[in-house]
Amino acid sequence: MANIIVVGAAGRMGRLLIELTSRDPAHQLVAAVEGKGVPAVGADAGENAGIGKLGIKIIDDYAAVARVGTVTLDFTTAAASLEHLEVAAKSGASIVIGSTGFTREMEARAKEIAPRTRTVIAPNMSVGVNVLAKIAAEVAKALPDFDAEIIEIHHRTKVDAPSGTAISLGKAIAAARGVDFNANATYEREGITGVRPVGQIAMLAMRAGDAVGDHTVIFGGEGERLELTHRAQSRIGLARGALRAAAWIEKQQPGLYSMRDVLGM
Ligand SMILES: NC(=O)c1ccc[n+]([C@@H]2O[C@H](COP(=O)([O-])OP(=O)(O)OC[C@H]3O[C@@H](n4cnc5c(N)ncnc54)[C@H](O)[C@@H]3O)[C@@H](O)[C@H]2O)c1
């Protein structure tokens, strides 16, 4: 049984994770953590998630509960997750980070700290998206001259763009083609842009309403176009993936792992 700490307990993913953990006999919720000054601190985690009392109060001090034998599920912000990763590494807690929006510097720092404990960092925990990344890499290799464009749409309250998933799809395409991602990536177009550079990988973000997250990878060639689309219809697939990662990471050696490692792909 995994002893789960949900960090970001009052957020969209956090509340769903509390609900799923409390229903799943394979997991035991041992703590729920929020940011300092958040109104939900002090409330019962279950009541706050709309599933009735669980007897676990939301606290605002992650270091007080992180310890060996626990798995943290962290869906907060990139900056907060980096701080929590430091705490997890010091305390020996396993950690699954779903937060997105890591800058290159933050990513480098996370890669440095993560191997000190058992860590999964995955911008998208759904099985479908990870299969999409695998297929997109195969298509990128099979159609090396086709232009790769990634379009994503998310809810209006998402704070980072493009999505971590879009970036990871772009990285998968770059890796499959053996090219440097950062040197070929572009994130916007406006005005007289000139013709499309050969080998460019574009990630374009839309924000509207309550869209959970759609990603389309377009491969455009001469006289034909191949499009691969994944649509998240709810957060359930993402939360289930996070719990799957929690059960898996407990049995691994310390190190930094991806969702593809978790899924054995
Ligand atoms: N990897 C995935 O599969 C996946 C899926 C969904 C969302 N996400 C990402 O997860 C993150 C959260 O998404 P969300 O939709 O739940 O957002 P949200 O804004 O609904 O929830 C985030 C919660 O984190 C809390 N928080 C912020 N700083 C904190 C801190 N220092 N300590 C503890 N809690 C803190 C906030 O108060 C908030 O309640 C975003 O980065 C999002 O892009 C990833």
**DSSP letters along 189-221, please?**
--SS--SPPTT-EEEEEEE-TT--EEEEEEEE-
21-67 confidence digits (pLDDT tens)? 999 999 999 999 999 999 999 999 999 999 999 999 999 999 999 99
Q: Which of 5, 41, 75, 215 to mutate to test the pocket of ligand 1 (most atoms within 8 A of CB)?
A: 75
154 is catalytic: yes
Interval 106-129 mean pLDDT = 96
The finding on whether 12 has its CB within 6 A of some atom of ligand 1 is yes
Looking at domain 127-232, which CATH architecture does it have?
Answer: 2-Layer Sandwich (3.30)
The residue contributing the CA closest to ligand 1 atom 36 is: 8
Tell me: pLDDT of 220 over 90: yes
Residue 207, classed as helix, strand or coil, is: strand
Rounded CA-CA distance 48/64 in Å is: 21
Domain limits, CATH 3.40.50.720, in the chain? 2-121+236-263
Interval 139-143 mean pLDDT = 98
Report the chain's mean pLDDT, rounded to a whole number: 97
Q: Are strands 70-74 and 2-7 parallel, antiparallel or unpaired?
A: parallel
Domain limits, CATH 3.30.360.10, in the chain? 127-232
Interval 231-258 mean pLDDT = 96
Q: What percent of the chain has pLDDT over 90?
A: 98
Interval 161-172 mean pLDDT = 96
The finding on whether 124 has its CB within 6 A of some atom of ligand 1 is yes
Residue type for position 63: A
- Burial zone of 157 (CB within 10 Å; 0-12 exposed, 13-18 middle, 19+ buried): exposed
Rounded CA-CA distance 128/260 in Å is: 11
Torsion from C-alpha of 68, 70, 75, 78, nearest 10 degrees: 0
Assess contact for 69 and 40: CB atoms under 8 A: no
The finding on whether 243 has its CB within 6 A of some atom of ligand 1 is no
Rounded CA-CA distance 1/15 in Å is: 20
pLDDT for position 39: 98
> Which entry of 57, 134, 158, 171 is annotated as an active-site residue?
158
> Which entry of 27, 84, 154, 230 is annotated as an active-site residue?
154
The residue contributing the CA closest to ligand 1 atom 40 is: 99
Ranges of H-type helices in the chain: 12-23, 45-48, 78-91, 104-113, 127-142, 164-177, 181-184, 236-249, 259-263
State in Å: Cα 199 to ligand 1 middle: 33
Tell me: pLDDT of 70 over 90: yes
Assess contact for 249 and 120: CB atoms under 8 A: yes
pLDDT for position 1: 79
Rounded CA-CA distance 161/84 in Å is: 22
Measured CA to CA in angstroms, residue 34 lies from 5, 48, 77 at distances of: 11, 12, 12
Which token pair is 64?
A: 């007080």
Q: Which of 5, 7, 73, 76 to mutate to test the pocket of ligand 1 (most atoms within 8 A of CB)?
A: 76
pLDDT band at 242, cuts 50/70/90? Answer: very high
222-239 confidence digits (pLDDT tens)? 999 999 999 999 999 999
pLDDT for position 150: 98
The superfamily (CATH) of domain 2-121+236-263 is NAD(P)-binding Rossmann-like Domain (3.40.50.720)
Atom of ligand 1 nearest to the CA of 122: 1
Residue type for position 84: H
Interval 192-197 mean pLDDT = 97
Rounded CA-CA distance 121/96 in Å is: 6
Q: Checking phi first, is residue 224 left (phi over 0); if not, alpha (psi -120 to 50) or beta?
A: beta
